Amino acid sequence: MAMAMAMAMAAAEPLPAVAAAPGARLESVRALAGLFREAQHREMAKESVFQDLLEILRSTSSEIEQAYKDSCELVDLDTSLLLIAECFRCLRNACVECARNQHVMRNLGLISASVHLIKLLHGIQIKEELLLTALRCSLQFLGNIAAGNGDSQNSIWKCAFPDLFLTCLTYSDKKIVAYCCMVLFTCLNSEKVGELLDPGNLTVALHVLKVYKEQLESEWSVTLLELMMVNVCEKNLHTNEEMNVFMRHADFLAGRFQEKYEAVLKLTSAEDADEEALVAIRLLDVLCEMTSNNGQLEYLQTLPGLLETVLDTLRLTHLAGKQTVNVFTATHAVTGQEEVLHPAVDFKSHLIRLIGNLCYKNKENQDKVYELDGIPLILDNCSIDDNNPFVNPWAVYAIRNLTEQNERNQELIAQMEEKGLADNSALESMGLEIEKRDDKLILRSVRKKPS
């Protein structure tokens, strides 16, 4: 009987009037939420159903606000919170893979009404579990109405940024934080990342980074890195405040790479790409891009431990590739036609690229690579490798940066070649050769002959 009534409501009939008993409204909305789990009922829903749900949310919201103005007490708070949660469950379910319902809800004003209600619920300190359930359902609804819908994403961002995110990202409840992140990352694009990282929104950015640090292996972490790479890496720093924001992000990203770099070794045996390893790979990509910006390079060159970590990572992956056959093993397809699609492709190339960037016109880092035996390691990675098709150009770049105005590094490479420890063909492929002058070995560039 109840099911038949709910089906009729989904198709045509309105929900019980706002003036009806809360218990009756609760049961009706709960039945409707169950129906909207099925696509056929979502597609049958009329606008009047969502208008009714909006009125229930508004009236319940008004009741809570008035009660707190009068005496900070509400006679039936439990039922009100349950009703709010069920309304949001119903709306959440109705949005799934249904762009029509998303548009109808947005046009009715359900996004702004929901954001307002979330802020209201944040101020309630009674019956915590019921309150948390209502907040979780409200955020799930915002995530679902935004999914694949640019107009809804823009509407949420306009209503919710930055206040709603500041509110929900600080909750001790992990589900609320996770659902808030879901909403945030569903709405983000390169333009919104720019707004997120604007100096005026530094507090929001720092909360996002704090959550990201604590939940590094979550499913949205790689997305954040992708978006940060688009925005942060190309940003020109003009003010002290912008530089301050950049330094905080640089410290964070470099620190996470230093903590997580060993995760890439999981790729030597895992059939599927490990999430933590993927994050380490993307962190390296971001650091490479950041160090390619002259305005950002100098600060990154001074970060303690970063260069050492990159050298350690190169050494570990190089050794892992020699011990067993895996993605870090140098391979050369006979046909030269095979395409390698593994996420770790060019990982060692990027490590060498980052070493080269960090040593650019930096004598201290040049000497550090020498002291850590990094030069032989780089030269040993110069063989043809389908897993790292761009390793040779980056090795050329790194060696040139390591030897520029650094006689000790030049002499080391020259001595290695003389003793047969460095492959002369590899040096030639880099456009370098060894020349003996007055009993002294000199590493110099080879001038190309005109064709």
pLDDT in tens, 298-328: 999 999 999 999 999 999 999 999 999 988 9
Report pLDDT for 316.
95
Query: Using one digit for the tens of pLDDT, what is the confidence trace for 154-210?
Result: 999 999 999 999 889 888 888 898 888 889 888 887 678 778 767 677 677 667 766
Give the chain's radius of gyration (CA, Å).
29
Report pLDDT for 137.
95
Report pLDDT for 227.
60
Ranges of the chain with pLDDT below 70: 1-22, 70-76, 125-127, 190, 197, 199, 202, 205-206, 209-239, 241-242, 245, 270-273, 332-341, 418-451
CA-based end-to-end distance of the chain: 89
Q: What is the dihedral of CA 394, 395, 396, 400, to 10 degrees?
A: 110
**In the chain, what are the domain boundaries?**
1-166
Report pLDDT for 396.
85
Report pLDDT for 298.
92
Question: Based on the number of CB atoms within 10 Å of its own CB, is 312 exposed (0-12), middle (13-18) or buried (19 or more)?
Answer: middle
Residues 378, 355 contacting (CB under 8 angstroms):
yes
Residues 96, 148 contacting (CB under 8 angstroms):
no
- CA 301 vs. chain centroid, Å, equals 24
Report pLDDT for 51.
95
Residues 303, 254 contacting (CB under 8 angstroms):
yes
Report pLDDT for 102.
96
Report pLDDT for 126.
63
Question: Based on the number of CB atoms within 10 Å of its own CB, is 288 exposed (0-12), middle (13-18) or buried (19 or more)?
Answer: buried
